[in-house]
Structure 1
Amino acid sequence: MTNSIKLSKRLSKVASYLPEGALFADIGSDHAYLPCYVCLHDNTAKAIAGELNVGPYNSAVDTVNQHELSKVIEVRLGNGLQILNKGEVRQLVIAGIGGPLIKTILDEGIQKLDGVERIIAQPNIDAGNVRKWFYENGFTITNEAILEESGHIYEIVVADKNAAANPFEADDLEKQLLFGPLLLKEKTEVFFYKWKTEYEKLQRVIDQMNKATIKNDKKIQQFQKELKWMKEVLMNEK
C-alpha cells in the first residue's frame, strides 16, 4: 500500500475546489485517483466514485483497495448521476469529458442534485454549454480556471447553489458564457493563447462554410458573431 497519489495538474486544480470534509461524488472517476487523493489528504472527506463500464469500475475498486480507503470511498457502477441517492452528496465533480455530455449528465440526473451545494466541472470542450446549464438551473459560477498541460488547454468551472454573488455583467450574456465571466475579467496568458488558437480555427471553418454549395447562413452568422467577440477580446491582450 502506498499512501500517496500524484495527480495531474488538471486534477490537482479540480481537487483544490473541494472543501475540507467534502462529501462528494466523482462521476467518470478515472481509476478513482481524485477521490483517493482527496481522502488521503483529508481524513474527514468521503467520496463516491462512479463508473459507467465494468473495466474502469474494476480499476477504480483496485485503486481504492490499494490505498485501503474502502471505508471512505465507495465505487459504484452505473450511468451518470443515477448511481446517487437524493441528498447523498454535497459536492459533485464531473471532469475530463465534453461540455455537451456534462450537460446531458446534469439534465438526466437533475432530480439527484438535491443537497448538492457545489458542482466542479472540467469540460474538455465547449465549457460554454456547462456555464449555460449552471446559469439556467440555479447554480452560480464562483470560480473559474484555465490551464495548460501536456499541450492541452483545460477550463474548470465551479458553481455553487444559490450563491449571492453574480459574476455576469448586465450586457453580453452570450459572450460571457462563451469565454467565462471570471476568466474574461482575469485574462491570463493561457486564456489569450486559447482564444488566439480558437480564432484561427473558427476563421478556417467560416471560410470553408462560405465555399460550400449549400450554405448554413444561420450557423455562419453565429460563428461570425463569435469571431468578432474573439477579435475584441484579443485586441485587449496585455
Structure 2
Amino acid sequence: MKLSNRLQLILDHIPQGSRLADIGSDHALLPTAAVETGTCVSAIAGEVNKGPYQAAYKQIQEAGLTETVSVRLGDGLDVLKSGEVDVITISGMGGGLIASILDRGVEKLNGVSRLVLQPNVGEDILRKWLLAHHWVLINEHIMEEDGKIYEVLIAVPSEQEGIEITNEALYAERTLDGGLVLSTDWLLRMGPWLIKRPNPIFHAKWKSEINKLNSILRSLSKSELASAEEKSAHIRADIKKIEEVLACLPKDKL
C-alpha cells in the first residue's frame, strides 16, 4: 500500500514487531500498511463514528487482514484493553483533542512503550501534556505535504530503559547562537528538537505564524476595548521573539 508522506513518516517511527493501536484510523490505511510491511505483528484501528468505522472495516476485509487487524468502534482509547498494544498512533486531529484522548484513557497507557502523534495544530498543548505525564519527547519532525505543514512527535515513558535524554535536559533554558535565551515555555511552543534541527519548513511555519499575529494586531487596532492594547503588547512581544529566534537559526540545516 502506498501511504502519504505524512503517514509514511509515522510508520517509520513504529518499532519492528510492535502491536499497534491507531486511534482515529481514517480507513485503516496505517494499520494495513504496518501489518503488510511486517512492521507490526497485529494492529487495532479505532474509530468513534460509524461511517469511518465501516470504511476501515471494509479496507481490512479487502486487504485480507481480518485475522491480524481488529477494527473497533469506540471513543478514543476506550477501544483498548490495558496491555493490549505497545505503540499508539493518533494523527490528523488538533493537539488539544489528542491530549484529551490520552488524558481520558491514561490508564490504558500502562505497558505502552511509544506514542507517535501528529497534531494538525496545538503542538505545544501536546508537548505540555507529555511533559506533565512523564513522557519524554525523543524526536520530532516537521514536513510539508499538499500545501500543509505537519509535525510528528515521538514520545516514550520517562522510566523506559535506554533513554538518552531527560525532560529536564530537553526543556532546560537554552542559549542560541547570537546569545538569545529560549525559556522552557518557548521550547514547548516551538519544539525542542525542531529548534535544534531547523529546516526551511520550520522557518516557513513560523513566518506564517508571524503573519497571523500581525493580522490579529490589525484587528485589535480597531478595537476600543481597554484590554485590546494589553493583548496587542503581548502579541508584539511574541512577534519580536519569533523573529529573533528565526534570525538565530540556520535556514538550510536538515
Per-residue deviation, 1:226: 2.8
The residue that corresponds to 1:191 in the other structure is 202
Gaps of 5+ in 1: none
The 1:88/1:217 distance shift into structure 2, 3 A limit, reads farther
The residue that corresponds to 1:168 in the other structure is 171
Per-residue deviation, 1:222: 4.5
What CA deviation, in whole Å up to 9, does each residue of 1:180-209 have, x standing for no partner?
A: 000001110111111111111112112322
The residue that corresponds to 2:180 in the other structure is none
- TM-score, structure 2 as length reference: 0.87
Distance 1:126 1:44 in 2: 29
In structure 2, give the amino acid aligned to 1:78.
Answer: G
Contact 2:42–2:69, Cα closer than 8 Å, also in 1: yes
Q: Tell me the number of residue pairs that the alignment of Structure 1 and Structure 2 aligns.
A: 234
SS at match of 1:197: helix
1:211 aligns with 2:214: no
Per-residue deviation, 1:144: 0.4
The residue that corresponds to 1:55 in the other structure is 51
1:154 aligns with 2:165: no
Q: Which aligned segments of 4 or more residues in structure 1 are displaced greater than 6 angstroms?
A: none
The residue that corresponds to 2:133 in the other structure is 137
Distance 1:161 1:98 in 2: 22
In structure 2, give the amino acid aligned to 1:129.
Answer: I
- Aligned identity (percent) is 38
- Across the aligned residues of Structure 1 and Structure 2, the Cα RMSD in angstroms comes to 1.6
Aligned counterpart in structure 2 of residue 202 of structure 1, from 205, 208, 213: 213
Aligned counterpart in structure 2 of residue 230 of structure 1, from 199, 217, 242: 242
Gaps of 5+ in 2: 175-182
- TM-score, structure 1 as length reference: 0.93
Contact 1:175–1:229, Cα closer than 8 Å, also in 2: no
Structure 2 matches for 1:1-238, cutoff 5 A? 5-42=1-38, 45-162=41-158, 163-166=163-166, 167-170=170-173, 172-214=183-225, 215-216=227-228, 219-236=231-248, 237-238=250-251
Contact 2:16–2:39, Cα closer than 8 Å, also in 1: no
Per-residue deviation, 1:24: 1.4
Per-residue deviation, 1:217: 5.9
In structure 1, give the amino acid aligned to 2:172.
Answer: E
Per-residue deviation, 1:223: 3.2
What CA deviation, in whole Å up to 9, does each residue of 1:118-151 have, x standing for no partner?
A: 1111000111111111111010000100000000
Per-residue deviation, 1:229: 2.4
Distance 1:193 1:64 in 2: 38
Deviates more, 1:125-134 or 1:210-219: 210-219
The 1:31/1:164 distance shift into structure 2, 3 A limit, reads same
SS at match of 1:211: coil
Per-residue deviation, 1:219: 4.7
Per-residue deviation, 1:230: 1.0
